Amino acid sequence: LAKTTQPISMDSYEGQEVNITCSHNNIATNDYITWYQQFPSQGPRFIIQGYKTKVTNEVASLFIPADRKSSTLSLPRVSLSDTAVYYCLVGYNAGNMLTFGGGTRLMVKP
């Protein structure tokens, strides 16, 4: 199972762009990268998923370099409501995308 490593915490200010990087050195050929967001007292919420290069949706962008050994979640112009824990998971099917790492605790300040 691909293991992921993320910074424990990050601080930012409202209106800034936030980039959270996840390392997954032993990612397999068929693995995708999935990011979740979790607010206090709620279940994790799917944000974005990608395989290579760049994926963008209405919430975030995901940048994946050619070697796919890392990925960066980019949140444009964060607000206070983006304060949450962000988890990076790697895997292809339900059987190997069940291990959550420590996540990154993002604190957005006014």
Residue choice 10, 23, 61, 101 for contact with another protein (CB under 8 A)? 101
Amino acid at 76: P
Check binding of 81 to another protein (CB under 8 A).
no
Residues linked to residue 86 through DSSP beta bridges, in sequence order: 37, 104
Cα separation of 66 and 81, whole Å?
Answer: 32
- Residue among 99, 80, 107, 110 at smallest CA distance from 20: 107
- β-pairing, 104-109 vs 9-13, is parallel
Residue choice 13, 53, 99, 109 for contact with another protein (CB under 8 A)? 99
Residue choice 2, 86, 87, 106 for contact with another protein (CB under 8 A)? 87
Check binding of 93 to another protein (CB under 8 A).
yes
Interface mask toward another protein for 41-80; x: CB under 8 A: xxxxxx--x-------------------------------
Residue 80 CB neighbour total at 10 angstroms: 11
- Shortest spacing between CB 17 and another protein, in angstroms: 25
**Binding piece for another protein, criterion CB under 8 A, among 12-20, 21-29, 69-77, 86-94:** 86-94
Cα separation of 98 and 100, whole Å?
Answer: 6
